[in-house]
Amino acid sequence: MIHIRNLRKSYGRNAVLQGIDMDVRAGEFVVMLGLSGAGKSTLLRCMNGLNQPDSGTLRVGDIDLMRKHSRRELARHVAMVFQHHNLVPRLSVRKNVLTGRLGQTAALASVLQLFRQSDLTLAGQCLDRVGLAHKAHERTEALSGGQMQRVGIARALAQQPQVILADEPVASLDPQTARSVLQYLRDATRELGIAVVCNLHQVDYAREFGDRIVGLAQGRMVFDGTPAELDAAALDTIYHAAPQNEPEAGRGSISAPPANAWVRTAAPAGGL
Burial class of residue 249 in the structure, from the number of CB atoms within 10 Å of its CB (0-12 exposed, 13-18 middle, 19+ buried)? exposed
Cβ atoms < 10 Å from Cβ of 104: 14
**Which one of 33-41, 108-116, 141-149, 157-165 is the stretch in contact with ligand ATP (CB under 6 A)?**
33-41
- Residue 143 has φ and ψ, to the nearest 5°, of -90, 160
Interface pick for ligand ATP out of 1, 24, 41, 98 (rule CB under 6 A): 41
Q: Name the DSSP class of 176.
A: H
Interface pick for ligand ATP out of 7, 22, 31, 40 (rule CB under 6 A): 40
Judged by CB, which is closer to ligand ATP: 41, or 149?
A: 41
Count interface residues toward ligand ATP (CB under 6 A).
Answer: 11
**Which one of 9-17, 86-94, 125-133, 177-185 is the stretch in contact with ligand ATP (CB under 6 A)?**
9-17
Q: Rg of the chain over CA atoms, in angstroms?
A: 19
Nearest distance from residue 83's CB to ligand ATP, in Å?
9
Interface pick for ligand ATP out of 16, 31, 81, 87 (rule CB under 6 A): 16
Interface pick for ligand ATP out of 24, 39, 140, 200 (rule CB under 6 A): 39
Nearest distance from residue 167's CB to ligand ATP, in Å?
7
8 Å CB contact between 198 and 205: no
Write out the H or E segment, with its range, that includes residue 122.
helix 117-129
Rounded distance, CA 133 to CA 211, Å?
28
Interface pick for ligand ATP out of 13, 36, 108, 117 (rule CB under 6 A): 36
Nearest distance from residue 127's CB to ligand ATP, in Å?
29
8 Å CB contact between 158 and 41: no
Residue 7 interacts with ligand ATP (CB under 6 A)? no
Interface pick for ligand ATP out of 42, 140, 162, 255 (rule CB under 6 A): 42
8 Å CB contact between 260 and 21: yes
CA-based nearest residue to 200, from 180, 171, 229, 178: 171
Judged by CB, which is closer to ligand ATP: 61, or 210?
A: 210
In the chain, the amino acid numbered 247 is P
Q: Which stretches of the chain bind ligand ATP, using CB under 6 A?
A: 11, 14, 16, 34, 36-42
